[in-house]
Structure 1
């Protein structure tokens, strides 16, 4: 059994979680739409993750839709007391699997109710409001309307803590004027470093930052330098990329996803990989080179 405790723990909501968590997105069918090819394996992956010490699972009811939440309930309910399930709202799927904004008060309320029903919960531990101003990345613009709706649902006891996803630093500060931000979830990885300043700003406030697509997402990380470091350390490139995130800042909580037991074990084992300073310097240059290339 893999031991993930070496990566340490960090605050999430009212408690703390192991910094190596699990993202459930890949448990749905192709394109995060429809059921998986092997639902029994999907449930086994979830059970194995929790058995290994994962106490932070990231999901959304628009994965499938409904599929991943139903699998989580089937595999893990009644939930262990220490398990934190984090979900997100603001999108819906059309009949072809397209991603559409769903930010009206009625749509957000329905999304929270659907999460509660499909997960089998009376209250959601953490709900992230995902900005849909630009579905492909953070874009400036006020989120006051949907944030206010979620604060009202929180006041009703349906949500314990609120976070943000796909947002800018300005939007985080705007939300903090009216309510506590429990976490921020943006795209960030070894090659995509645009949130460096935001990560440090949140760390100073003891707020966790949860990078989605920590391994590149639908376009997996590819780098000769990464491959060479992995070979020297006798690890996989993806393990090195995850270990780099764990050493980047103490407030990073990881949620790598997979539908494979083998890949799950490899991902979790990255918690035990300590990168030497010399290799960190090599890896840091990957992000710097990618940033310069995009300018």
Structure 2
């Protein structure tokens, strides 16, 4: 059969089909992953939801209260003011990380794509922060940005930029942006690897054909290469959103459990941590469980919407 025949519906129908695994064998292979998911994800999630529907006195379960713990988050202080502010910080963290990671990560991937020399070295260099614990990264940057002995402010003063030598983590107007930039700096290597792999999967003939048609370099990138990267952009966006909404180690390391200064770095995970372990409330289990479920609903719901939107965008392009 010729290559042309293989592209026709008849040719496709004549291809050899891979035999499917028996149902029992398939279930046997899926069982370990399913068991791990049920024990470490599904069971804790269901348990947290049931905890959120009861009142608690320490570790003793009280009466069934339904949605009262959830209502408490939006009607009683300090949650009525802290929860919306923390959600806003999580969304800002997502937006900032998206802008930096998608732009810088894609730029690095494009620059390294056709440069064989030192490509592996720079890929490893940019990926190293991603392999380090976020808590360590946060404490490291808190030392680097210290207004007393931090090398960042010392360097700014030495080059004559004393006006920029600020108390970065002590000023509410700059503290959250430091969290955003540190988070993006640590994770920029991950989208770089994904975009690099996607660029490697694009046939060079597509770019060569566009070049022969007279398209310039920017035109080839924005009209040919970028649309082909939409699936990867969708993956990076969803993973960045999940990571931003679950962010805890870096905000904790830079601003402490209270989201200092003045709650400028407060996020939902910090509220959960304070409620569960530092509040001293008799109903700490019920309130903290409701925070966890609320956060899960937001992450799951918006992730599904993002995924569907990117899939629709892919269908329109292809």
Q: What is the TM-score normalised by the length of structure 2?
A: 0.23
Structure richer in helix, relative to its length: 2
RCO higher in structure (CA 8 A, sep ≥6)? 2
The structure with more strand, counted as a fraction of residues:
1
